[in-house]
Structure 1
């Protein structure tokens, strides 16, 4: 990868080297990358607007950062259309496209806590804030692992060497992300099983109207679609980076388009079209305030719901005559 006819890749251009020895292994498609740049620009704008409208700070910040990183990544690929040996274009692409899904995952993780409260916190094995703190830590670990991978790749590339070590470091971060996502899915499935076991009569009556609305149901479907798309993308990246940036799959732009770009576009657009602020509706504020009433998981007797069973908390909203009593018993 580093040389063609005795020429360092750092000195390559259209006259000296074939495009097959460029950082990408091909000339990135201009129409494809312009299309996805436009899609993620729209998604970024939508998520910023929706975050401000519905005041979904955590979810909105994660999704907006992720979309911005995607925009930067595809801008890098557009630069590479002109010069696929460009180091800046390569750096921007691997860091933008590589790190963005970690922030998408963080936004998705935050939804589980509110879903648990919407059906009944007392049904859950662990109290709602456990989900938030556990998966935020998991996402931070994933970023901490992947970010050095991008840095190592950049250093190797700046020396004209294949960024193999950086690719493997990034691969370990993505593997951890898939593990965390699998745990999230397992906990979600376990909670769904418990909801079914106790029956609808045990579900929190405060949110019954919200749960039966088509907006909330559409949000749940969109969330499932987003998780599936993220999972497909993550598995693809594991397969891609297992061969390093010089591997066969890393040089297949069609695979990149379908399994990376399309999957993340589906994720970003579905979560914007059926945003949690829209899906939860008026219940979002109520759930947020109920969530705030729970202690942090590391407090004494604050991890499992059974240890909070005797608590009774009254939370008043700003609107007159709106309140609820939290009695976390199944």
Structure 2
């Protein structure tokens, strides 16, 4: 029979009597974790080993195709953003596995709290990059905002969100009073709320651009038309919207989770966490990997690039990239084009 908890008593091998023997440090700590976790631990439950191991492996595995696709299709910015986001997810679930063994580890909790919270920020940044390329593919004149403006606005918002979440997490974990810990939680909530608002506005920008594309004249470049008409590209655009919705659901959940604090029912319901956080980010990762923009753009990812700098000709940012002048002329009304040609012949 096993030793009695905390007493070092167990059966002597080969006989029926009991003898005293010392317990290891781990054996002395383990019972306290099980009996006192509701009063002293970071959770009122022991984190699941199976669930957290699954997500650790899942996000780790998806790093490989993101690297391969990023290198092959030269989608460097998107690749870096996705890898950072996935690595942070892996670190977060590894830290939670450590909490399964030691519920009182401050270092593991801090690593879990910060990495799991800020990881999706980088995945969102990858989505923002996709929209700016889509705008270049359809035509900048159809977008209410320039790709540069969209990138700067949403990435700045994401950066502020990241700083707030990381700072709040550090304060909440290292606080030596309940009031200071609550202040850290409030800062984290502000960061998550900012992220949720940014994603909601981003969806509105996508909807507005789609409506303007439907009503306006698209860029008539042959290669760009070919890419836009490919079924895989249309599926890719749907996947971008779905990935954004998944991350938005996750952000809203985390706001509600932290709103109640570390002793709230949502924070201590791991099943809800696996569904509304882990599964949402997993689905967003699948969307951005199975329907990667590299194959969807068919070699036009870099062609649809834009720049923060102004061109030498004095045009707006991003307009110096491969949008040919003859393509712009084809978008003018036919009567004006004919008049121009006739005048040219007379001269």
Instruction: Sort the TM-score into its range (normalised by shorter chain).
Output: 0.7 to 0.9
Equivalent residue, structure 2, for 1:6 = none
Equivalent residue, structure 2, for 1:105 = 124
Structure 1: unaligned runs, 5 residues or longer = 1-10, 316-322
Counterparts in 2 of 1:239-318, with a 5 A limit?
239-288=256-305, 291-292=306-307, 295=310, 302=316, 313=320, 315=322
Equivalent residue, structure 2, for 1:212 = 229
SS at the partner of 1:125?
Answer: coil
Aligned counterparts of 2:140 and 2:149: Cα–Cα separation in 1: 11
| RMSD over aligned Cα atoms | 2.6
1:188 to 1:204, Cα distance in 2 relative to 1, 3 A: farther
Aligned counterparts of 2:45 and 2:245: Cα–Cα separation in 1: 29
* Bigger mean CA offset, 170-179 vs 275-284: 275-284
Match of 1:176 among 194, 202, 213: 194
Normalised to the residue count of structure 2, the TM-score between the two structures is: 0.79
Aligned counterparts of 2:71 and 2:113: Cα–Cα separation in 1: 30
Counterparts in 2 of 1:27-38, with a 5 A limit?
27-38=46-57
1:293 to 1:24, Cα distance in 2 relative to 1, 3 A: closer
Match of 2:182 among 150, 164, 167: 164
Aligned counterparts of 2:308 and 2:62: Cα–Cα separation in 1: 33
Q: Deviations over 1:112-136 (max 9, x none)?
A: 1111111111212222221111112
SS at the partner of 2:46?
Answer: coil
Q: Deviations over 1:79-101 (max 9, x none)?
A: 11111222122111101111101
Verify the 8 A CA contact 2:73 2:299 in the aligned structure 1. Answer: no
Aligned counterparts of 1:222 and 1:241: Cα–Cα separation in 2: 29
Match of 1:43 among 62, 66, 73: 62
SS at the partner of 2:324?
Answer: strand
Counterparts in 2 of 1:102-141, with a 5 A limit?
102-141=121-160
Structure 2: unaligned runs, 5 residues or longer = 1-27, 333-347
Verify the 8 A CA contact 2:182 2:261 in the aligned structure 1. Answer: yes
1:57 to 1:89, Cα distance in 2 relative to 1, 3 A: same
Equivalent residue, structure 1, for 2:218 = 202
Normalised to the residue count of structure 1, the TM-score between the two structures is: 0.83
Give the deviation of 1:172 after TM superposition. 0.2
Aligned counterparts of 2:89 and 2:278: Cα–Cα separation in 1: 9
Aligned counterparts of 2:69 and 2:262: Cα–Cα separation in 1: 36
Q: Deviations over 1:145-171 (max 9, x none)?
A: 212112102212xx4858322221111
1:293 to 1:282, Cα distance in 2 relative to 1, 3 A: farther
Verify the 8 A CA contact 2:96 2:109 in the aligned structure 1. Answer: yes
Aligned counterparts of 1:133 and 1:25: Cα–Cα separation in 2: 41
Aligned counterparts of 1:174 and 1:204: Cα–Cα separation in 2: 41
Equivalent residue, structure 1, for 2:246 = 229
SS at the partner of 1:202?
Answer: coil
Q: Deviations over 1:45-78 (max 9, x none)?
A: 2222222222112111111000000000000111
1:223 to 1:202, Cα distance in 2 relative to 1, 3 A: closer
Verify the 8 A CA contact 2:114 2:165 in the aligned structure 1. Answer: no
Give the deviation of 1:241 after TM superposition. 0.7
Give the deviation of 1:314 after TM superposition. 7.2
Aligned counterparts of 2:183 and 2:109: Cα–Cα separation in 1: 16
Equivalent residue, structure 2, for 1:8 = none
Number of aligned residues = 297
Match of 1:143 among 162, 180, 189: 162
Mark the structure with the bigger radius of gyration.
2
